[in-house]
Structure 1
Amino acid sequence: MMRRPPGERGAALLTVLLLVAVMAVIAATALDRLTLATRIAGSAATVDQGRAYSFAAEQIALRRVADLVGRDPAKLTLAGDWLGRDFVLPLPGGEGRAKLADANNCFNLNSLVAETAPGRFSQRAGSMRQFGELMTLLGIDPGQAQAIAGAAADWIDSDSNEGPLGAEDNAYRAMPGAYLPANRKMADVSELRAVRGVTPKIYAQLKRWICVLPATEPVRLNVNTLAPEQAPLIAMLVPGEITLGDARAALAARPAGGYGSSVRFWEAAPFEGFDPPTDVAEQAGVTSRWLSLTTNVTMGDGFLTAVSLIDANGGAPSAGLAPPTIVRRDWGEAD
């Protein structure tokens, strides 16, 4: 029997221990990856289930909107306590909440242009003045406001010619991290942050007052769903001629059944003696084509938010001719 030198005693044991350690590390890594894969699969299943519940909430909302429109296609009011109200949707293993809002009551950035031909956009001077006035009413410097309105219109219009206060290719090429204007309709309000002159502070001031709708028609508000604190949206319609106080008073004095027409609205006591131009007067309407649905679904530790834009007209020229449809859907919370 061979005797091992004293220096080699325990070598076999060390080899075995080393193999055990390596196998333990491999097993721990494999278990960790298996756990991660299981969690990812579970999260994916939760997201898929959450989206299915969101789609179901959309269908419920579409039926609700159809009912609201069907009551009186010529007028949409607060009757039925639908605006901004949380509707709870009990779900297996979770909960859903859905809320409808009037997406007409904001300044549509795409209204800064008019679609003169399919895919061709030219600036709309009246909307630019209204956007500048809205910013001024919100406390933004008038000079900055007009420059931002001009730059935003240049961002969307189809040509490369700078307006009097606008900004086109050359202005953006000179910026750090040079880029070019889109020259098309905006797809999301966050695009405004890329427009020259829009600082984070200005964007924060504007965010709750602006929106992006698929249409480029002039802003058309619904005075039957506007809250008195949204008076700047009325005051912007005729720059310098309507005070915030008068606009707020007219909205606060709204009849219980709402105003029957834009004519009735402009005849309210706070506007006595004021006669706005016909095209501007019609911007204070009594119906809403666009509504937004915010759905929040909670399942266990999972949470999903969806914001859906509803066309109450269903693509038809006026309400009541076609069923409401979903035209856009955004997943996740807004920026």
Structure 2
Amino acid sequence: MPWQARADLAAPVDPYIDHHLGRPVAGLSTDALLARLMDWMDADGVARSGSLDGPDYANDVRAGLGPRTTANAPLADISEINWLAPLDSRRSRRLPEGLCAYPDTGPLALNLNSLPVERVALLDSLLEGRVPRGRLERLLRSRPAAGYQSVDAVRIALGDPDDFNELARRLTLTPDLLRLHIRIEIGDRQYRYVRLLQAEGVSPWQPRVPAARVRILQRYRGEAPHSPFPTSSPEEAS
């Protein structure tokens, strides 16, 4: 589940964390963790209830480390939550699998054609419980082998809810972040390469329409390390 670099999108992650952890994270309750995360990112300098912001961090010091303050900026990496008070260098390792910092501040949407049914909790959290969990599971289990191809197919699969247009703003059928694995065999030698790509100008409800442009975000020789949403500076694809 991408933790986007926007404070207003931290709340939908709340039930997902509760579902997977069911206990405090490194001494912080779910509410405290999310409040401190949002204060870490927003720029208003006003702490939420039970949280810290800006100069409040001057009192949370550790031996060998200088004073720190909130970033007041989008997360560049999920490990930044280690800097939330109280300082904990291992906090990010105890988060549910699949959470990461997403290098984009646009609307967050889940791809119904790639989301496995085992991750239905992500969809439930993003839609904030407005669609029964059982109906979401059926939506993913009844997905055609080639994937959903139109907004009408998804509307019908969801039972044509009255608020479908609002729900559809959080859904897509088209991937925009892709991992390309390349294997080249020359004689008895094999060469493996990985490219992390971002497709731009895609149509969210028309997965067969080509992207307007594809950018290379990262290149690897061999197998790529586990990093579902890279944060390095993108390069233009040639």
The bucket for the TM-score relative to the shorter chain is 0.5 to 0.7
Structure 1 residues 311 and 180: CA distance shift in structure 2, 3 A: same
1:290 to 177, 183, 191: 177
Q: How does 1:1-335 map to 2 (within 5 A)?
A: 106-110=1-5, 113=6, 123-124=7-8, 127-141=9-23, 144-164=29-49, 166-177=51-62, 178-196=67-85, 203-204=92-93, 206-268=95-157, 271-272=158-159, 274-276=161-163, 278-292=165-179, 309-313=196-200, 316=201, 320-328=210-218, 333=225
Q: Give the secondary-structure state (helix, strand or coil) at the position aligned to 2:126.
A: coil
Which of the pair is proportionally richer in helix?
A: 1
Deviations 1:252-302 (A, max 9, x none): 11112212234532432xx44744463432212101112245799xxxxxx
Tell me, yes or no, if the aligned pair for 1:263 and 1:281 is still in contact at 8 Å.
Answer: no
Q: CA deviation at 1:218?
A: 2.6
Q: Is the CA contact (8 Å cut-off) linking 1:156 and 1:186 kept in structure 2?
A: yes
* Consecutive unaligned residues in structure 2, runs of 5 or more: 184-191, 204-208, 228-238
CA contact 1:129–1:239 (8 Å) conserved in 2 = no
TM-score by length of 1: 0.50
CA distance in 2, matches of 1:166, 1:275: 38
Deviations 1:54-73 (A, max 9, x none): xxxxxxxxxxxxxxxxxxxx
Inter-CA distance 211–275: structure 2 relative to 1 (3 Å threshold) = farther
Letter of the 1:320 partner, please give it.
Answer: P
Instruction: Work out whether residues 109 and 210 of structure 1, in 8 Å CA contact, stay in contact via their aligned partners in 2.
Output: no
With over 3 angstroms needed to count, the CA separation of the structure-2 counterparts of 1:161 and 1:250, relative to structure 1, is same
Structure 1 partner of 2:230 = none
1:107·1:211 contact (CA, 8 Å) conserved in 2?
Answer: yes
How big is the alpha-carbon RMSD for the aligned residues of Structure 1 and Structure 2?
A: 3.6
Distance 1:165 1:259 in 2: 44
C-alpha displacement of 1:243? 4.5
Do the aligned residues in 2 keep the contact of 1:262 with 1:282 (CA within 8 Å)?
no
Give the Cα–Cα distance (whole angstroms) in 2 for the partners of residues 287 and 244 of structure 1. 23
Q: Distance in 1 between matches of 2:84 and 2:153?
A: 38
The secondary structure found in structure 1 opposite 2:217 is strand
Structure number with greater Rg is: 1
> Is the CA contact (8 Å cut-off) linking 2:39 and 2:51 kept in structure 1?
yes
Q: Residue type matched to 2:174 in 1?
A: T
Following superposition, the deviation at residue 311 of structure 1 comes to 1.0
Deviations 1:60-119 (A, max 9, x none): xxxxxxxxxxxxxxxxxxxxxxxxxxxxxxxxxxxxxxxxxxxxxx32332xx2xxxxxx
> How far apart, in 2, do the equivalents of 1:173 and 1:275 lie?
50
TM-score, normalization by structure 2? 0.68
CA displacement at 1:226 relative to structure 2: 0.7
Q: How many residues align?
A: 205
Q: CA deviation at 1:141?
A: 4.8
* Structure 2 counterpart of 1:219, one-letter code: L
CA distance in 1, matches of 2:112, 2:225: 28
Q: Relative to structure 1, is the Cα distance of residues 215 and 283 closer, same or farther in structure 2, using a 3 angstrom cutoff? A: same
Counterpart-to-counterpart distance in 2, 1:241 and 1:181: 33
Q: From the superposition, tell whether residues 242 and 306 of structure 1 become closer, same or farther in structure 2 (CA, over 3 Å).
A: farther
SS at match of 2:213: coil
Deviating more after overlay: 255-264 vs 232-241: 255-264
The percentage of counterpart residues that share the same residue type is: 23
Partner Cα separation in structure 2 for residue 171 and residue 330 of structure 1: 41
